[in-house]
Chains A and B, each alone.
Chain A
Amino acid sequence: MSALAAYATSTGEAFQFWVLGTVAVVGALCTILMRKAVHSALCLAGTMIVLAVFYLANGAYFLGIVQIVVYTGAIMMLFLFVVMLVGVTAADSLKETIKGQRWWAAACGLGFGVLLFAGIGNAALTEFAGLGAANAAHGGNVEGLAALIFTKYVFAFEITGALLITASVGAMLLTHRERTERARTQRELAEQRVRDGKHLPPLPAPGVYARHNAVDVPGLLPDGTPSELTVISTLRKRGQVRDVSGEALADLKALEQRSSERLGRDRDEEEANR
């Protein structure tokens, strides 16, 4: 990794590029094509790690580590938290609602891609000088970056700092929910429930008179009716509440049938024996 050549890279790097490059592209494709947002986030994280390896391969050591730590570690995790916060919504369906959107997107993307490739191919690129000299100039990659940041790009650095602070404050402001009224006591909540005519007694504890261990079987209320409230709302929303009330009756019916068969056989034997 020290002797970064000019035009042609080493075979090792070439091999690494082609393999990891494929992984990166596959990851990017999965990002845009996965149904669930969580899967998309994870694929993107994978692509970013591959990119970090590429940075390291290109001589940007500091940047490669920062990519893993900041980008993949912080930013993608932030994405995952928000995805979990938002939860499962209808926006996850892959059915396209706008007519012709997919065709147009594909066409534009193809055209754009072709143009970029043509542009890069046409570009008069100089020889690849490699970063050996640059990294050694100040005694290392980090030192070199620092030398540039604090001299040539110090204004950009300061302003970016200000930007970060502003962003944090802004994020806090956007998501802050301040309680404007005093929290209502339990008595007040109960009075409100009576006034609205909603469900008066507190919700049944989970598993009351539960006959099953299963999470999707509702427990019974004191009068024998199954209470759906004992099943968690996620399963309720999905409609995955299991109704097992018929099982006992089925057992009873089976028992009766077996008994009638047995009794019937006994009587026939008696008849036959007489």
Chain B
Amino acid sequence: MDNLIALLIAAPLLGAAVLLCGGRRLDKTGHWLGTLLAAVSFVIGLALFADMLGRSADDRAMHQHLFTWIPVEGFQADVAFQLDQLSMTFVLLISGVGTLIHVYSIGYMEHDERRRRFFGYLNLFVAAMLLLVLADNYLLLYFGWEGVGLASYLLIGFWQHKPSAATAAKKAFLVNRVGDIGLSIAIMLMFTTFGTFAFGPVLASAGETSEGKLTAIGLMLLLAACGKSAQVPLQSWLGDAMEGPTPVSALIHAATMVTAGVYLIVRSADIFNAAPDAQLVVTIVGAVTLLFGAIVGCAKDDIKKALAGSTMSQIGYMILAAGLGPIGYVFAIMHLVTHGFFKAGLFLGAGSVMHGMNDEVDMRKYGGLRKYMPVTFVTFGLGYLAIIGFPGLSGFFSKDKIIEAAFAKGGTEGWILGAVTLLGAAITAYYMTRVMLMTFFGEKRWQDDADGNPPHPHESPKSMVIPMVLLAVGSVAGGAVFEFTGFVEWLEPVTGYAHGHPPISAAAVTAATVAVMVIGVGLAYLQYGRRPVPVVAPRGSLLTRAARRDLLQDDFNHAVFVTGGTHLTRSLVYVDHSLVDGVVNGTAAGVGGLSGRLRKLQNGYVRSYAVSMFGGTAVLIAATLLMRAV
């Protein structure tokens, strides 16, 4: 059974290879092949899951060693896989949601002539992400990490003819690179500290290493997570990544790739547990991003960018939970899975709306769509209820647990984190309600598109609707299923679980959460439900304008890094040009000038040569006299 682990990755990888190298003859059938192989991966995952359930809780980790990658003494770099409960969760999420997105893309990308390549890239992504979560050492994880980065770049910039898409892809890659530096430094530090990369030895000996080294490793891992998961300060690429097709946004930038950072932190739990300072920084980053993303999401009129801000904020929740230590790891993963369901569902719904509205993304030009796209409305609505934490739906269970865990941290830290998470919940409710109201309710504010065609909103084809429905089911039921089938006990052997010191009871936290949600919904209703929504965005307050510009992150990056980098480059060019080249050219010019002057000595006149001889004689006599005198 263990030998099947490699097949999980091999299937989509094969699909990617065939589709990308196969050529135009596969254009008619390529998408079916891609979807099939993704489904194969999911089925194998289910089989492995069933097998894992049959074992006892301590025996659930499966290993498979494929081959030795770098056979160097003292450098343990193998291609080997580890499938434990944590990886299993991710495998099911990735292959499951991935397959649904493949099905959705069949319909969504029907009119695109490069659809075969799209499916090739999607398969590549699934393979790389599975490699990331199945690796049993950090070096192989890095391989998968880079692979998903590559797939993200290819997919964001899929519509290559659009300069904005190409730029967004580059931006995503560059910002991710900054995070990748963190991961490579962490791996190097691990090697010098532990002498190996494999999870087993590293995590087992984490308890005995000095705290300073572990803090450094932990901070570097956090940097990597910030890059991949779009946390502050490396979050600027996520909004621009919405340039890619909607299935890409759903799969990569909602459900799976952006959660890789959370996976990294939870996998390295033992390292963080032994370095409390790093953990504190993790929680701070999570808390800041939580609010940052929420505020940005409130001001965006582009439906996809609003959902991107929401993703940023929800991942902030997960990172915050991961930073809380053993009291939060399980809930971070739980929220990750439920978020995967409802966020993917919300994105697919947005794609469906865009599909019907001539690819218009500005919510100010929507309005009253619930009558025209009922199924979309229902699935989107269920996702909406899940994300705001409506009692009973999945988001309620997972988010509520995170808020409880935040309070349970204890001390002032606990109060602050708890307050922040509650505030975040309020703002989440506000902006999601805003999206719902602007899109599906109110008057029709539809505008003709650039060619003068009025929009004809209609329900999407079956290939798009079925995945949305399935994801909506997951959004509704997921939380309850996790809660009542013992998700905590499922994950506990891997991550550990602690209760913490809750200052207030769980019921009080739940009540507060619900109250806060109602306040948020109410405020949004007052603002957008009662009053007509203007088609042209009003100027807005200072905070609104700043939030529209992503809270000035891009401007900051430009002013500090781009301008600074340009100045540095210019000064280096100056040094190279005038100093280095100057030395070389100056030497050449000097030699040339010297030779030019020396050449005048040979002017052909006997008398000049006589002067030289006479002078030379004088020098010789002087030398002789001096020698005598000395």
Taking CB atoms, residues of chain A closer than 8 Å to B556 are none
Q: Do A98 and B607 have beta carbons less than 8 Å apart?
A: yes
Give which listed residue, A108, A118, A122, contacts B614 with CB less than 8 A: A108
CB interface residues, B 582-630, toward A, < 8 Å: 603, 605, 607-608, 611, 614-615, 617-618, 621-622, 625, 628-629
Q: Do A98 and B603 have beta carbons less than 8 Å apart?
A: yes
Give which listed residue, A98, A115, A122, contacts B618 with CB less than 8 A: A115
Taking CB atoms, residues of chain B closer than 8 Å to A98 are 603, 605, 607-608
Across the two chains, which residue of chain A brings its CB closest to B621?
A115
Q: How far is the CA of A98 from the CA of B622 in the complex (A)?
A: 27
* Known A104-B615, A108-B615, A122-B629; contact A115-B622, beta-carbon cutoff 8 A: yes
Taking CB atoms, residues of chain B closer than 8 Å to A118 are 625
Across the two chains, which residue of chain B brings its CB closest to A105?
B611
Q: How far is the CA of A118 from the CA of B611 in the complex (A)?
A: 21
Taking CB atoms, residues of chain B closer than 8 Å to A111 are 615, 618, 622
Q: How far is the CB of B468 from chain A (nearest CB, A)?
A: 96
Q: How far is the CA of A175 from the CA of B529 in the complex (A)?
A: 128
A112 adjacent to chain B (CB < 8 Å): yes
A interface: dominant SS: helix
Q: How far is the CB of B296 from chain A (nearest CB, A)?
A: 79
CB interface residues, A 203-239, toward B, < 8 Å: none
Across the two chains, which residue of chain A brings its CB closest to B608?
A98
Q: Do A101 and B611 have beta carbons less than 8 Å apart?
A: yes
Interface string of B241-280 (1 = CB under 8 A from A): 0000000000000000000000000000000000000000
Q: How far is the CA of A4 from the CA of B44 in the complex (A)?
A: 134
Q: How far is the CA of A192 from the CA of B583 in the complex (A)?
A: 72
Q: How far is the CA of A151 from the CA of B611 in the complex (A)?
A: 41
Across the two chains, which residue of chain A brings its CB closest to B605?
A98
A164 adjacent to chain B (CB < 8 Å): no
Taking CB atoms, residues of chain A closer than 8 Å to B603 are 98
* Known A98-B603, A98-B605; contact A112-B611, beta-carbon cutoff 8 A: no
CB interface residues, A 98-131, toward B, < 8 Å: 98, 101, 104-105, 108-109, 111-112, 115-116, 118-119, 122
Taking CB atoms, residues of chain A closer than 8 Å to B617 are 112
Give which listed residue, A104, A105, A108, A115, contacts B625 with CB less than 8 A: A115
Q: Do A119 and B607 have beta carbons less than 8 Å apart?
A: no
Across the two chains, which residue of chain B brings its CB closest to A113?
B618
Q: How far is the CA of A5 from the CA of B608 in the complex (A)?
A: 45
Q: Do B621 and A108 have beta carbons less than 8 Å apart?
A: no
B interface: dominant SS: helix
Q: Do A101 and B618 have beta carbons less than 8 Å apart?
A: no
Q: Do B615 and A116 have beta carbons less than 8 Å apart?
A: no
Give which listed residue, A104, A105, A109, A116, contacts B621 with CB less than 8 A: A116
Taking CB atoms, residues of chain B closer than 8 Å to A101 are 607-608, 611
Q: Do B611 and A122 have beta carbons less than 8 Å apart?
A: no
Taking CB atoms, residues of chain A closer than 8 Å to B625 are 115, 118-119, 122
* Known A98-B603, A98-B605; contact A108-B622, beta-carbon cutoff 8 A: no
Across the two chains, which residue of chain B brings its CB closest to A109?
B614
Q: How far is the CA of A112 from the CA of B620 in the complex (A)?
A: 10
Q: How far is the CB of A124 from chain B (nearest CB, A)?
A: 10
Taking CB atoms, residues of chain A closer than 8 Å to B607 are 98, 101
CB interface residues, B 500-533, toward A, < 8 Å: none
Q: How far is the CA of A118 from the CA of B625 in the complex (A)?
A: 9
Q: How far is the CA of A108 from the CA of B622 in the complex (A)?
A: 12
Q: Do B605 and A108 have beta carbons less than 8 Å apart?
A: no
Q: How far is the CB of A84 from chain B (nearest CB, A)?
A: 25
Q: How far is the CB of B219 from chain A (nearest CB, A)?
A: 73
Q: How far is the CB of B605 from chain A (nearest CB, A)?
A: 5
Taking CB atoms, residues of chain A closer than 8 Å to B605 are 98
Q: Do B629 and A112 have beta carbons less than 8 Å apart?
A: no
Taking CB atoms, residues of chain A closer than 8 Å to B628 are 122
Interface centre among A98, A108, A109, A112, by most B CB within 10 Å?
A108
Q: How far is the CB of A107 from chain B (nearest CB, A)?
A: 8
Q: How far is the CA of A108 from the CA of B625 in the complex (A)?
A: 17
Q: How far is the CA of A56 from the CA of B604 in the complex (A)?
A: 44
Q: How far is the CB of A118 from chain B (nearest CB, A)?
A: 7
Taking CB atoms, residues of chain B closer than 8 Å to A109 are 614
* Known A118-B625, A119-B621; contact A112-B608, beta-carbon cutoff 8 A: no
Q: How far is the CA of A55 from the CA of B605 in the complex (A)?
A: 37
Taking CB atoms, residues of chain B closer than 8 Å to A119 are 621, 625
Q: How far is the CB of A100 from chain B (nearest CB, A)?
A: 9
Q: How far is the CA of A80 from the CA of B622 in the complex (A)?
A: 38
Q: How far is the CB of A93 from chain B (nearest CB, A)?
A: 15
Q: How far is the CA of A109 from the CA of B611 in the complex (A)?
A: 9
Q: How far is the CA of A111 from the CA of B605 in the complex (A)?
A: 22
Taking CB atoms, residues of chain A closer than 8 Å to B615 are 104, 108, 111
Q: How far is the CA of A119 from the CA of B623 in the complex (A)?
A: 11
Across the two chains, which residue of chain A brings its CB closest to B622?
A115
Q: How far is the CB of A108 from chain B (nearest CB, A)?
A: 5
Across the two chains, which residue of chain A brings its CB closest to B614?
A108
Q: How far is the CA of A109 from the CA of B615 in the complex (A)?
A: 8
Across the two chains, which residue of chain A brings its CB closest to B615?
A108
Q: How far is the CA of A98 from the CA of B618 in the complex (A)?
A: 21
Q: How far is the CA of A116 from the CA of B614 in the complex (A)?
A: 13
Taking CB atoms, residues of chain B closer than 8 Å to A115 are 618, 621-622, 625
Interface centre among B607, B614, B618, B628, by most A CB within 10 Å?
B618
* Known A98-B607, A101-B611; contact A108-B629, beta-carbon cutoff 8 A: no
Across the two chains, which residue of chain A brings its CB closest to B611?
A104
Q: How far is the CA of A104 from the CA of B426 in the complex (A)?
A: 97
Taking CB atoms, residues of chain A closer than 8 Å to B611 are 101, 104-105, 108
Q: How far is the CA of A111 from the CA of B603 in the complex (A)?
A: 24
Q: How far is the CA of A111 from the CA of B625 in the complex (A)?
A: 13
Taking CB atoms, residues of chain A closer than 8 Å to B618 are 108, 111-112, 115
Q: How far is the CA of A44 from the CA of B2 in the complex (A)?
A: 119
Across the two chains, which residue of chain B brings its CB closest to A122?
B625
Q: How far is the CA of A84 from the CA of B628 in the complex (A)?
A: 49
CB interface residues, B 266-319, toward A, < 8 Å: none
Other than the known A98-B603, A108-B614, A112-B618, what 16 A-B pairs have Cβ atoms closer than 8 Å? A98-B608, A101-B607, A101-B608, A104-B611, A104-B615, A105-B614, A108-B615, A108-B618, A109-B614, A111-B615, A111-B618, A111-B622, A115-B618, A115-B621, A115-B625, A119-B625
Q: List 13 A-B contacts (CB under 8 A).
A: A101-B608, A101-B611, A105-B611, A108-B611, A108-B614, A108-B618, A111-B618, A112-B614, A112-B617, A115-B621, A115-B622, A119-B621, A122-B625
Residue numbers of B with Cβ under 8 A of A are 603, 605, 607-608, 611, 614-615, 617-618, 621-622, 625, 628-629
Residue numbers of A with Cβ under 8 A of B are 98, 101, 104-105, 108-109, 111-112, 115-116, 118-119, 122
The 5 A-B pairs of least Cβ separation, nearest first, read A112-B618, A108-B615, A108-B614, A104-B611, A111-B618
